[in-house]
Structures are given as structure tokens and as C-alpha cells.
Amino acid sequence: METALIGAVIAAAAAILAAVVSWFGAFQNRRTADRDHAWDRFTWSVSQREEDRAYDISSAVLRRLETVAWWSKKDRRLASRALRRRSAPRSTDRSEGDD
């Protein structure tokens, strides 16, 4: 009887461990998918030029990416820097005075 009880305890512990590992794997997969999607959004928004119709939308995307809690601090800083660079006044082209 003790052997059956020990076997049941081991089986229960193994099942709990398998459930935890499975949950953690699913959590990591979801997080990776979210980060990949956020990175795709970032690269799309940075590639938009001021003349493009989607420029305003891409600026809004960058503003949202600044505040995404689960994105890394470095990535949020990168979005902030891209947005600041986008809103900074543009210097005139050097070629204008060379005519």
C-alpha cells in the first residue's frame, strides 16, 4: 500500500511539474509573438516618410510603443528616440547653398 501511495504522489508531482512547464512554455511563446508583432509595428512606423499617407498613423504607433509595459526598457527608449527625432525641426539641406 505504501508503494502505491508513493507512486501516486510521484505521479501527481510529475503531473504538476508538467503543467507548470507547459504553462511557462505557452507564456513564453505568447510573449515572443507579442514582441515580434511590436517590433514589426516599430519597423513599419519608422519606415514611413513624412510624405506618406500613413505618416500620422505611424507617429501614433510610436507613441503607443513608448508605453507598452511588457516591451523592454531599451525598446521603449528606442521608440521614444524615434518619435523625438521625427518631431524635431529639420535642418535645411546643405546642398541648398551650394547652387
* Cα–Cα distance, 91 to 98 (Å, whole number): 15
pLDDT at 90 over 90: no
Structure confidence by residue, pLDDT tens digits, 36-52? 888 899 999 999 988 88
pLDDT > 50? residue 99: no
pLDDT digits (tens, 9 = 90+) for 55-85: 889 999 999 999 888 888 998 999 999 999 8
Query: Do the Cβ atoms of 60 and 44 come closer than 8 Å?
Result: no
In a 3-state reduction of DSSP, which class is residue 87? helix
With 90 as the cut, is the pLDDT of residue 14 above it?
yes
Query: What is the rounded average pLDDT for all residues in the chain?
Result: 86
CB of 35 closer than 8 Å to CB of 55: no
User: pTM value?
Assistant: 0.62
Cα–Cα distance measured from residue 32 to residue 27, given in angstroms and rounded to the nearest whole number: 9
